[in-house]
Chains A and B, each alone.
Chain A
Amino acid sequence: MSHNKMLQGITEILREYKSADDLEVTEETTFESLSLDSLDTVELVMMVEEKFSVTIEMAKGIKAVADLMSAIEKAE
């Protein structure tokens, strides 16, 4: 899957989760900067799994959009 498609999908998930249609998301965006904690991260991972039909192993290192994209690539 292309980086752009992944980023677009993750952006849609974050906008839905934060209920913010105009949320700007880049690969560098950290979850902490969006006031999302470790359990929010798990919810995001589950939404990503559903959207991209992958299974992601939970790891403490998932702290930013780029980490989530790496996890999707690894799971594919």
Chain B
Amino acid sequence: MKILGTGAGLPARRVYNSELAAFLDTSDEWIVSHTGIQTRYVCVEESLTDLAEAAGRQALRNAGWTAKDMDLLIAATISGDYITPSLACRVAERLGAVCPAFDVNAACSGFIYALEAADAFMAAGKAENILILACEEMSKHVDWTDRSICPLFGDGAGAVAVSCGGALRYMHLTAAGNTAPLKMRAPRGNSPFQPDVPQEDKFIRMSGQEVFKFAVQSIEKEVGLALAALSLAPEDVHLYLLHQANLRIIESARQKLKLSADKFPTNIERHGNMSSAAIPILLNEMLEAGKVAEGDILLMSAFGAGMTTGTCVWYWES
């Protein structure tokens, strides 16, 4: 598999830490020192389908495809505009695609899980040209009165157009069977046979310390496994595109690998944690900035609720 085109879609509204400090007991200094986040984009007029469509159209354009060239559309998301139809079907409708389309939910690891699904479709000979979307509207899931959660997240959509090729050299997914540290209940209907769900259960709940520990440990372990599998030294990798959840997690990984900061590009400062959308948007930014050359080795590693991880390595082919 190889990536032929990438794209991104963001809301127009950028929210600064100082704006949050106006209605929360927090400060720009606290948020920056604990997370590295300075701003995040938040949907106001836009729907998630709008962002996903914009990202998808850009990826198709960069790949030189039309919607009719796609054999399959996969969307990684936990925050589609509808429970059903899937976000993938909503975007397929907008793009005028007629291929199969479905969603994947692996939380912040969702983009890597979608890549693995795409690769499996290709290996089975069931698809050649696949559009992968990874899109999140986290602003509708967080409790905007909870200062420990709402500053962390942002909205955004990333997309990659993938086709058959040899660029993807390594893929490893995990799910630890540990759902307590990070979760959000699905909305309930009005069944008269079940009691009402308390209001507080509507939002994302996270044990920050547990998630931080899992993230640091899993990145160290998964990066080590990937490097060993490909007989690579840490410095052989040109770019480590890690999930953007907290600058301190990325810094911890960088220090353990004893590498320079330029190998660990970040966008969390501007975007916050966009869950599954973080890595594809970061990849799109790196490509637009001309930071990826033919043959470069890119390692992507994500972790998320579940607790899940996904790690893959690319020898870049355009």
Contacts and interface: CB of A to CB of B under 8 A. Distances in A.
Interface of A: 37-39, 41-43, 45-46, 58, 60
Contact of B213 (A37, A42, A60): A42
Q: Chain B CB within 10 Å — which of A41, A42, A43, A45 has the most?
A: A42
Interface stretch (B153-161, B203-211, B274-282): B203-211
A39 B210 contact: no
Given A37-B34, A39-B248, A58 B209 contact: yes
Contact of B207 (A43, A45, A58): A58
Given A58-B207, A60-B209, A43 B216 contact: yes
Q: Chain B CB within 10 Å — which of A39, A41, A46, A60 has the most?
A: A39
Contacts of A46: 213, 216-217
Contacts of B217: 46
Given A39-B212, A45-B213, A58-B207, 5 more contacts: A37-B33, A38-B209, A39-B34, A42-B209, A46-B216
A41 B209 contact: yes
Interface in B202-236: 207-210, 212-213, 216-217
B208 A38 contact: yes
A42 B217 CA distance: 11
**Contact residue range for chain B?**
10 to 19
Nearest to B246: A39
Contacts of A58: 207, 209-210, 213
A48 B213 CA distance: 13
B86 interface: no
B252 interface: yes
5 contacts: A39-B34, A39-B208, A39-B209, A42-B209, A42-B216
B154 to A, nearest CB: 20
A56 B137 CA distance: 34
Contacts of B207: 58
Nearest to A40: B248
Nearest to B214: A58
A27 to B, nearest CB: 22
Contacts of B246: 39
A58 B33 CA distance: 21
Nearest to A57: B210
Interface in B170-215: 207-210, 212-213
Contacts of A37: 33-34
A39 B207 CA distance: 12
Nearest to B207: A58
Contacts of A45: 213
Q: Chain B CB within 10 Å — which of A38, A58, A60 has the most?
A: A58
A38 B207 CA distance: 11
A50 to B, nearest CB: 10
Nearest to B212: A42
Contacts of B209: 38-39, 41-42, 58, 60
Contacts of B208: 38-39
Contacts of B33: 37
A60 B213 CA distance: 13
Nearest to A41: B209
Contacts of A42: 209, 212-213, 216
